[in-house]
Amino acid sequence: MLSRLELLFSINVTGLKKSVIRELLKLTQDPETISFAGGLPSPETFPVQQAADLAKEVILKDGVWALQYGATEGDPRLKEQIVRLMRDDGVQVKPENILIISAAQQGLDMVGKVFVNRHNPIVIGRPSYVGAIGAFRSYAANFVGVDLDEHGLRTDLLKETLKKMRLEANLPKFIYTVPDFQNPAGVTMSLERRKTLLDLVREYQILVIEDTPYRHLRYVGNSIPTLYQLDNNEGYVISVHTFSKILFPGIRLGWIMASPQILEKFIIAKQSMDLCTSALSQAIAYEYCERGWLKPHIQENVELYQKKRKIMLEALDMYMPKQPDICWTRPEGGLFLWLTLPASIDADTMFFQALEEKVAYVAGSGFYTDGGGRHCMRINFSYPSENEIVEGIKRLSRVIRKNLDN
């Protein structure tokens, strides 16, 4: 190994950290461990036979182009299907406002690449999605956290934060948010706060990155308009979407919606990343949508996860210690809920005790950039079976009780 190797690494890569979640998942491989740690869709939802049949059909019928490089902008046929999908959600978007990407994580990385210079401030929620933190950290962004509550990002605190940053001549490039069933907290931003958020970005002339991987997975309550819809094509919102949670993650497909001026820069950035998104994956997704299979598939996912969510909430109500400083969110959709413990309990340390009890979670500190969240955890209900959810909550409750007694 070169003795000067550390000196050869770029400044960008020396600031990177391993994904907390990916590292934790390595510790949960014991088949007897019930894992609430990952953000994995249930394998029960994967359309294995349909995907196999479509892959064979597409390759035999259209292999000449499906196995070839494609346009960076994406397959026009798939874009039309996305236009229809978004129209059903109340969003009017044109194909020229859509860029097909290799799943949402690539979109977040492109946001960092296009907008962030070293040490530029960006605003994120406390807590925030660890994948976004990692993507923006790779471009050496400075994080400015704004707390969440049960109604999403606290826009009252955001107002104060932006006012202070303007006085310091240090406004953020953008605000990053997951408005629907936020990862990790599971909370949904209210309509009032969405409108206030957009008023603020107009006033301060900054952007909003709307990350919305779970939006189609709503189990209770009424849908709230997206930030992109409320923006009315003014161009302040960049909306990032994925097929990972509504089709299957292995297809590695997503899309960005933004103004053509912004998409032009994203296209250039993507060309230096991977040239183009897999033409084969796009062709399979197009055929799946064109045959009318996606909507019933999403509904099947909703029905499955709705039941699992209910089982987890009932198990928490039944087995968790009853005291005011132990509480959890009751998400209207998505894959996660957020469990808050007494400040005296360190969820990072307790994680290894939980592994001894054969149950795993993600400690809340991984979702903060400032050392917060150590008495919190994220738990997932989409991946474990219904029986595993109940047993896993029993085990987790035992671990928490032991720490309360200490």
DSSP output for 193-234: HHHHHHHHHHHHT-EEEEE-SSTT-B-SS-----HHHHHTTS
Whether the bond between 184 and the residue before it is cis, its omega within 30 degrees of 0, is yes
Q: What is the pLDDT of residue 240?
A: 98
Give me the residue label for tokens 């959600």: 89
Amino acid in the structure at residue 372: G
pLDDT band at 405 (very low <50, low <70, confident <90, very high): confident
> If you average pLDDT over residues 152-178, what whole number do you get?
97
> Residue 33's Cα: distance from chain center in Å?
24
How far apart, in whole angstroms, are the C-alpha atoms of residue 50 and residue 64? 22
Kindly tell me if the per-residue pLDDT of 17 is higher than 70: no
How far apart, in whole angstroms, are the C-alpha atoms of residue 363 and residue 329? 15
Query: Is the torsion defined by CA of 381, 387, 388, 389 positive or negative?
Result: positive
Amino acid in the structure at residue 29: Q
Distances (CA, A) of 265 to 9, 259, 270, 328: 27, 10, 9, 41
**Going from the N-terminus, what domains does the chain have, and what CATH number goes with each?**
5-46+296-405 (3.90.1150.10), 66-293 (3.40.640.10)
Phi, psi dihedrals of residue 352, rounded to the nearest 5°:
-75, -30
pLDDT in tens, 22-36: 555 665 567 899 999
Query: Is the torsion defined by CA of 234, 237, 240, 246 positive or negative?
Result: negative
How far apart, in whole angstroms, are the C-alpha atoms of residue 305 and residue 246? 12
pLDDT in tens, 366-402: 999 999 999 999 999 999 999 999 999 999 999 999 9
User: Pick from 7, 40, 27: which is nearest to 379 by CA?
Assistant: 40
In the DSSP assignment, the letter for residue 376 is E
